[in-house]
Each structure stands twice: as C-alpha cells, then as structure tokens.
Amino acid sequence: MSDGEKKKEFFKFDPAVFISPPYWKCPNPKCKASDRFGVLWISDHLYTRRCKKCWYTSRYNLPKLNKKVIYLDQFAISNMMKVLNPGSKAYKKGKLDEYWIKLFERLDSLCKLQLIVCPESESHGEESLLSPYFRPLKRMYELLSGGISFYDYETIKRFQISEHARNWITGNPEKELDLDVHSVARRNINAWQERFTISTNMEYPQDWIDEMRNMRKKKHEGLSRIFKQWQSDKDKSFEFWFDEESTAFGRVTLQIYFSNLRKREEIFTGKREMTANDLIPSSFVVLVHTLHKVFSNAGVQDAEIWQKTIEYLNSPYLKDMPFNKISSMLYAAIARKAAAGMKEPPDRGMAIDIDIISTLLPYCDAMFIDKKCHSYLKEKPLSEAMNYGTQTFSLNNKEEFLEFLNELETKASKEHIEKVKEVYGKDYGKPFKELYSIKEK
C-alpha cells in the first residue's frame, strides 16, 4: 500500500469532557442554556465553572478548610484492599471482615467530604513493594491520600533538628518546636481536592527490592540482639533505658559520620571499591552538614563549627527532640517488658513502626497503628509524655476509631456539606467500593 493509500487515523479531542456535573443554568444572558454550566476544575480555595454550549466561564471562591490528618498503618491499608479486591486471596476465600469494609466506607466518604486526609508515607510505598499486591495497595493509599504525602522520615527528623539546633545555639534549648504538619507534607493539606488523581506506575529493580528487604532483616536482627541484653538487665529502670536510647542518637550520628569519612578516604586511595550506595551520602552525613550550616548562619566561626557540632550532639537537650523522645520511650518500654519476662523479641515490623510513630505522631490528629505500639503508648510514663494532641487507635479499640470518624461528619457544619454538594454533587460522598473493578491499563 502506497503512502497515499494508507488509512488516515484521527483523534478527536473534545475539551468539554472536562466539564462535569453538578450543572447549573448558564448565567450568560446570551446563552442561558439549562444544565450545561458545569464544574471545569477545582484548585485549593476556588473552583471554575464553564458552559458546555457557549464556553462562558466564571470562578467561585471556596471557604478555608481545616482537615483532620489521619495516619493509617500499612496493616489497615492492606486489610481494606483485601476485602474490596476480587484478586486477593482473602476475597476469593470469602474471608472478609466487615470491619474493614466499614472503615473504608467511612474514610473514603470523609475524604470526599473534604473533612480528612490520610497522607501517604514512605513506609506505605516500601511495605507495598515487598508485598505481592503492590499495585492494589498503591491504589488504596493513593485514593485516601488525595495526592498528599509526608516527606521521608529522615527529612522530617532533619527539619526538627535544624529548628532545635537554632534554638540551642541562640540560647533557647527548651523552646518548643513548631510542629506544623504543613511543613512536613507535600502539597496543601487543606486544599479542596480535584475529583481525579493522576498516578504513574514505575518498575522497581528486583535487586533494589531485595536490598530493602535485607536492610529490614538486619534492623530486626539488631533489635533481637539488644532484646537479649534487656532480658538480662533486670535491675535497670525505664528511666535508665530512656537515657541510654535518647543519648545514643548523637553518639551514633558522629560515629557513622566519621566512619563514612574513613570509607571515602579508602575509596580515593584505592583501598576500597566504590559501590552504588557510596554515591549517595548517608542521612547522618547530611545531618552533620546541616548542623554546620545552621551554626554558620547563627554566626559561629568556621574554626568553632566542629566544636559546637560535637557539643550539640552530646547535649542532654536532645532528649526532648520529639522524634528522639518518642522512639527512645518506645524502646525503653520494650526493654522494661523484656526485663519483666517477655520471652520473644518484637517482630520484624516493630522497628519500622517505631520509625513511623516517632516521626509522624506529633503532626497527626489521629493514628491507627499496631496493637503492641498502641499499648506501649498507653503505659506510663509514655501516656503522660505524649502531649502532642494526637489520638491513637488500634485493633484494641477499633470501634472507638469508627466513632471518632463518625463524629467528624456529625460536627461538620450544614454550610460545609452544602458547599461540597455544590462543587462535587450530592452523591460525591458515596464510598468508591468499586475501586478494584476498574482494570489498570
């Protein structure tokens, strides 16, 4: 077939497909078409309507929101996926716990009503990658997050340390940190959400996934080793282990930093082969350099930068840094249990759970977490020290979590609900239980 005989293919694009209900009568005096003036797009605190017939366009302001930030542990994401996904083993076997269906309905409805947001975390992505259900899990947490995600844990820790170090170097070491959730989240939490989410799927190298699994294994092995020490040290108090854990952060930071310097020197002198991991500086190296910048900006002379860095990382005030305080208390709680006769070490997920809770708890209104971690947080002195205003839930009090969510909608004003209907339609709050009936391309 010659070029002239080739079949011509055309793609006709109609921009009107982006205009959606609910429709109004067009306000253009020259048009006044009924039920053609629909919603074009939604952005932060305003939305745009356009007529499908005459193209008349107008913008409307939206009231400010104050969404509750709720963190969902991976086990909750996983269980909600299983009860909705026909491809899961649990679904095929008919082992469907109605609680997870109810929880999904509540969460998805409240997200659509612009009352809550359930941000993604790095653990959601990593733990999903280690599962055979990566894409279905990803679809679940992306739906409930509305495109909002927390920064990675090391970045959030660095934010806290930067502010704490500035307070310390200026003589205000006991000043409370500004734990503003907007400073640790990508995108505007209180924005009115668009009705659609754009998602991409990447192919992750198997060796990268294997390395992540191996790192988690090593972390658990390290916790298991120290657990044996806790079991034998029956004369040590909670306060002793808290001091041990909280002061270890500064020491470990310096040890790893100087270990990295020695490694780089060996690479440059040909005594060691460079690997891909050596191209990216560790979080401890980045942290030390961040402290240097903080102290330099505060007027510390170059000759004194290292002295101040070492002094700061050995400071007793590090105990009050939120992420260090929370993680140290959780590990001290486990040490106390071990000394009291706890037989088995924590499971492989405990270290990850402590990373999540210690980093994100101060920024959330509520967290739905592992039962064991939840029980530790309810013990004294943790229950008295966790004064961040965060409500914690687990399977220990799962019905209370549903009550908490129900109350959020009950407290929503009539004006707010009416505005949601104006922008999204009267049925927009209906849960999207058909999440897995749409096939991915």
> Could you read off the pLDDT of 378-427 as tens digits, one per residue?
999 999 998 899 999 999 999 999 999 999 999 999 999 999 999 999 98
Q: How many CB atoms lie within 10 A of CB 413?
A: 9
Decide if 440 contacts 84 (C-beta within 8 A): no
Cα–Cα distance, 162 to 181 (Å, whole number): 16
H or E segment and range at residue 135: helix 134-145
H or E segment and range at residue 402: helix 398-411
| Mean pLDDT along residues 99-118 | 97
Q: Is the pLDDT of residue 166 over 70?
A: yes
**Comparing C-alpha atoms, which of 25, 67, 34 is closest to residue 405?**
67
pLDDT category at 152 given cuts 50, 70, 90 is: very high
Q: What is the pLDDT of residue 278?
A: 66
| Mean pLDDT along residues 5-24 | 73
Q: What is the pLDDT of residue 440?
A: 57
Q: What is the pLDDT of residue 234?
A: 87
pLDDT category at 11 given cuts 50, 70, 90 is: low
Q: What is the pLDDT of residue 48?
A: 97
- Environment class of residue 188 by beta-carbon count within 10 Å: exposed (0-12), middle (13-18) or buried (19+)? middle
The tally of CA atoms less than 13 A away on the side-chain side of residue 177 is: 27
Cα–Cα distance, 260 to 271 (Å, whole number): 14
Is the preceding omega at residue 381 within 30 degrees of 0, hence cis?
A: yes
How far apart, in Å, are the Cα atoms of 48 and each of 42, 62, 141, 147, 425?
6, 11, 28, 20, 14
Q: Is the pLDDT of residue 441 over 60?
A: no
| Mean pLDDT along residues 3-27 | 74
Q: Which of 213-222, 264-273, 325-334 has the lowest mean pLDDT?
A: 264-273
For residues 149-168, one letter each, b for 16 or more C-beta atoms within 10 angstroms of the residue's C-beta and e for the rest, the string is: bbbbbbebbbbbbbbbbebb
Proportion of the chain above pLDDT 70, given as a percent: 95
Q: What is the pLDDT of residue 282?
A: 84
Q: What is the pLDDT of residue 308?
A: 96
Please indicate whether residue 91 or residue 360 has the higher confidence score (pLDDT): 360
Q: What is the pLDDT of residue 429?
A: 83
Q: Is the pLDDT of residue 4 over 60?
A: no
Task: Order the strands of the 366-368 sheet from edge to edge.
Answer: 116-117, 68-72, 366-368, 391-393
Proportion of the chain above pLDDT 90, given as a percent: 70
What three-state secondary structure class fits 152? coil
Please indicate whether residue 326 or residue 10 has the higher confidence score (pLDDT): 326
Task: Order the strands of the 57-61 sheet from edge to edge.
Answer: 20-24, 37-43, 46-51, 57-61
- Environment class of residue 14 by beta-carbon count within 10 Å: exposed (0-12), middle (13-18) or buried (19+)? exposed
Q: Is the pLDDT of residue 326 over 80?
A: yes
Could you give phi then psi for residue 121, rounded to 5 degrees?
-130, 170
Is the preceding omega at residue 22 within 30 degrees of 0, hence cis?
A: yes
Strands 57-61 and 68-72: unpaired
How far apart, in Å, are the Cα atoms of 139 and each of 92, 146, 377, 421?
19, 11, 30, 25
Please indicate whether residue 35 or residue 322 has the higher confidence score (pLDDT): 322
pLDDT category at 276 given cuts 50, 70, 90 is: low
Q: What is the pLDDT of residue 218?
A: 86
| Mean pLDDT along residues 305-327 | 96
Mean pLDDT of the chain: 91
Report the DSSP beta bridge partners of residue 46: 43, 61
Q: What is the pLDDT of residue 141?
A: 96
| Mean pLDDT along residues 71-100 | 91
